[in-house]
Structures are given as C-alpha cells and as structure tokens.
Amino acid sequence: MAARLSLTDVSLRFGGIKVLEEVSFEVEPGSIFGLVGPNGAGKTSLFNCISGHYKPSSGSILVDENEVIGSRPSSLSRVGLARTFQHPALQLHSTVLENVLLGAHTRLPGGPLEWALRLPRTVRSEKALRGEARELLERNGLGWAAGVHADELSHGLHKGIELCRALLSKPRLLLLDEPAAGLPHAEVEQFIATVRRLRDEEDITIVIVEHHMGLIAALTDRVVVLDHGRKLMEGTAADAQSDPRVIEAYIGKEAADDAA
C-alpha cells in the first residue's frame, strides 16, 4: 500500500547556518510529488532529512504514522522508504545484477549468521530475489546488461540500475533525487515513460527533486517550491511556472520585472 508522507515545521541548522526553516507539506498516497527550487534552495538537504542522512534540528517527518526522524537510512526500508541519488552510488566493479540485488538486503530472512551458513530458506529466498531482480532489469530495458560490470556502462544507465535497486526493496515511498541530471533528451523522455508506468502499475508514492521543469510538469500531481530553505509555494506545476515569486526565485527580480 502506498505511503503517506507528512512534514511538519522541519528545520535544519548547521552551526549558525539555517539550511531549512519550518518546512511543512503532505504527500498523498499514490501521488507523484515534486520538490523544486533554484540551486541552494535546500531540496537535497530536505531529502537527506527524510531519508535519515541528516537529523533535522526540529520538526516532524511521518511515513504514515511512523516518525522517522532519528532513524538510520538502513532501517527506513522497513517502513517502505527507498531513495536514489543525484550521483548513483554503485559498486562499479560488480555486475549490474549484483548491484540491483543490494536493494533486497532487508528482504532476506534471518540474519548474518543464517546468511553465512547458507541455510535452505536463505538459498530459496536468494534465488527468488535474483529472479525478481532480473525481471526488473528486463522491464526497464536493462536485461541485456545483467552480467555486465557497472563501470562499463554510461551515467544514464547507472541511474536506471539504481532505480531498479530501489524498486527491489519493494518501497511504498520512493524518493528520486534529480533523476534527469546529466541525461540527454531522449533518456529524459524514457525516464518520464518509466515513472508513468510505475504510477500505473505499482502501489507507490513518488517524490522527485528535479531542476528539469519539463519533467516536473509531465509527471507531478503537486509541487512544493523551496527558496533559501523556506517553502515558497505549493500547487500544481503549472501554478509554480506562472507564480511571480517562483519566477523571481529562479531568474532574479530584475529579469522577472523585465518579463512582466
């Protein structure tokens, strides 16, 4: 079942520097939600708070009814959260299939001792997960690369591998951090088609941090715009693109005045 994400007054400070200030919003289960804003707006910092890489100075972050502030990133998959990164963190000297299988670490039964002893149920689970991983790669156009080492593939393919790894954890809430960064136009279009398919086929909530406004407009139900760590506005992508405050935040007041 898709998860609900609720943020209430989330603030983050590093020393005397305010990175985020009282950010609040709610993401409905099963929706695609965009988090946008100019460079330095605090988008990735907010993602890091949601995914446990940063601990906010104050506020609340709920996945359904579970408070996740203070949780380690490795434990958040147990509440259904998975995340990709702007720069995919792959094991470059491992195969694509091996990289995708890393997403299933919380789905194996037992613990490290049982895994090391290769008990029958561990072997059965590994075989089933390997089949799921291959199926994910096939569905995302990467089946041909299962046995290829990751360092032999392009940046765009690395993003696809990381997405498959996240999906293998069976998330109910998926965070995508700048998934179109560095991709040529054709691969951006392919990514849009992939996320649309996920919305149609999977019971999952998706939150996207992205600069590519065409992608945001094509995919999202609602967006929040951040500027200097504060929530500037919330609405549809079309609302954001026509909002004078958003235009000013992106291109500067003088240019916004000229455009008007």
The class level of CATH for 90-173+185-202 reads alpha beta
Residue 92, token pair as written in the block: 């470059």
Read off the DSSP letter of residue 145.
G
pLDDT of residue 86: 83
Which of the two residues, 17 and 180, has the higher pLDDT score?
Answer: 17
Handedness of CA 194, 200, 202, 203 (dihedral sign): positive
> Phi and psi (nearest 5°) for 187?
-75, -30
The class level of CATH for 10-81 reads alpha beta
Q: What is the average pLDDT across 130-136?
A: 91
Strands 17-27 and 5-14, by their bridges, are: antiparallel
Rounded to whole angstroms, the Cα distance separating 131 from 148 reads 17
Task: Please determine, for residue 147, whether its predicted confidence score (pLDDT) is greater than 80.
Answer: yes
Percent of the chain at pLDDT above 70? 91
Helix (H) or strand (E) holding 224: strand 222-227
pLDDT of residue 110: 62
Q: For helices 185-201 and 155-168, give the axis angle rounded to 10 degrees.
A: 10
pLDDT of residue 105: 74
Rounded to whole angstroms, the Cα distance separating 136 from 209 reads 23
Helix (H) or strand (E) holding 123: helix 120-139
What are the helix (H) ranges across 54-119? 96-101, 112-117
| Residues ≥6 apart with Cβ < 8 Å to 154 | none
Domain extents for the chain? 10-81, 90-173+185-202
Q: What is the average pLDDT across 173-195?
A: 86
pLDDT of residue 108: 65
The answer to whether 42 and 19 are in contact (CB under 8 A) is yes
CA distances from 155 to 88, 158, 163 (A): 8, 5, 13
pLDDT range class, residue 197, cuts 50, 70, 90: confident
Same CATH fold assignment for domains 10-81 and 90-173+185-202: yes
Rounded to whole angstroms, the Cα distance separating 186 from 194 reads 13
Rounded to whole angstroms, the Cα distance separating 72 from 160 reads 25
What tens digit of pLDDT does each residue of 3-62 get?
A: 999 999 999 999 889 999 999 999 999 999 999 988 888 999 999 999 999 999 999 999
Residue 11, token pair as written in the block: 């603030």
pLDDT of residue 39: 84
In this prediction the pTM is: 0.88
